[in-house]
Copies of this chain bind each other. A is one copy, B any other.
């Protein structure tokens, strides 16, 4: 039995800010108190520091095969990068392969579990529906998989038809599960993309031109309507448009159980970034939009219309022909260069799992756009509650896992690829000034990050079985 007393820090939760001692026993928080006794404990002084529940990232794609390559972070490197950024639980998506869902799950678990660097849970994509699949959904909650994701885009690959989505939603609701949705209009994208290519448009900006913002807005309302009719809750992933937010607000004000996630890049970048010479770095789906969309999304975070910040972490090398050194070893994985002559061949995805907390602390809290409580709520407590991880994760109450970040609110640094720990060769926030950064990160009571030092190990992260009946926020 090991006890750690974090003393003198300021606890920050989704609703509280309080100067309190926190006592860890083994892997869990044992007590909170004022002047807890020090005897028998390892005392960590945290004067002037913030004590946060470890971040929960609801949205990553690690080691994901795509376009003849694979996202460049696996469940070790990606989750290690998460830890450096203050995130100790990550929810990763399982692609649905042919065959029973269980096969897809087993395969993904086999990739992830042995090497996971922090705790992780899994969402199940449903990209091909049949009565058998609906039936098999019933096996997921018992394994702690309580969420499914569907797509209104990616015709012929990932998309379900509206009626299929409706059936998934009803089945999920029946099982106490939550349906997540990627909202774009697949039909229009398919047509515009074919036409753009036929017209010889190959540049990255055509990725945005061929995925119009209005399609994102309408598909949000479409899914809201389906959810209302299915009497099911809905979670819209990576909201990227003002129009989509308008519809989220419309649905919520009419009593529909709809929630939304956005990702930091959508708050800062626009289609203009795709027109840069290195525009491929910003290619993901849905795409960056306009400054007006950025502003709208900030307002949605502030007024509670958007409940979570995820990352959709799915990194690729910008130049996968040039090795970088990672843990002392040179590595190169084919990446954005695959689409040099064809924007549709640019692997879709961005690094971000480690950027989330530092970037949002400086540019969200520090600039007065969100409060400190909202920062914790959006990055940890809300994802934990919505996804059935709470109160094990996302909480600093006794009984919770001792996933704790000691955050130095005063630390200044110039951010970028040299700092971020993603296994890729670029960072979207290269050269940005940050104020505030993780100092120590504990995973279930184990110190895994101490400033720049990595103390974790592959496999230290555990799979977290999640509850059904997650909260509607």
Contact = CB atoms under 8 A, between A and B. Distances in A.
Interface string A175-216: 000000000011110111000000000000000000010110
A158 interface: no
Contacts of A226: 185, 188, 218
Given A15-B15, A217-B225, A399 B185 contact: no
Given A163-B190, A221-B247, A19 B229 contact: no
A269 interface: no
A20 B302 CA distance: 31
Interface in A327-383: 371, 373, 377, 381
Q: Assembly of this chain: how many copies?
A: 4
Interface in A287-320: 299, 302-305
Nearest to A35: B30
A341 to B, nearest CB: 26
In this complex, the interface size class of chain A, counting residues with CB under 8 Å from chain B, is 35 or more
A6 to B, nearest CB: 13
A27 interface: no
Given A15-B381, A163-B187, A188-B229, A252 B303 contact: yes
A102 to B, nearest CB: 26
A397 B16 contact: yes
A229 B250 contact: no
A391 interface: yes
Nearest to A185: B162
Contacts of A224: 214, 218
A92 interface: no
A299 B254 contact: yes
Contacts of A247: 221
A302 B473 CA distance: 9
Contacts of A190: 163
Residue in A21, A185, A222, A395 with the greatest tally of chain B CB atoms within 10 Å: A222
B398 A34 contact: yes
A471 B302 CA distance: 13
B398 A255 contact: no
A253 B191 contact: no
A187 B214 contact: no
Contact of A299 (B166, B255, B377): B255
A116 to B, nearest CB: 26
Contact of A225 (B32, B218, B253, B299): B218
Interface in A215-252: 215, 217-219, 221-222, 224-226, 228-229, 246-247, 249-250, 252
A311 B220 CA distance: 32
15 contacts: A15-B15, A17-B391, A20-B397, A32-B397, A34-B398, A34-B399, A162-B186, A163-B188, A215-B229, A218-B224, A221-B247, A253-B299, A254-B299, A255-B299, A303-B305
Given A212-B228, A214-B224, A218-B221, 16 more contacts: A15-B377, A15-B381, A18-B400, A31-B31, A31-B32, A31-B34, A32-B397, A33-B398, A155-B163, A162-B188, A185-B222, A212-B225, A214-B225, A218-B224, A218-B226, A304-B304
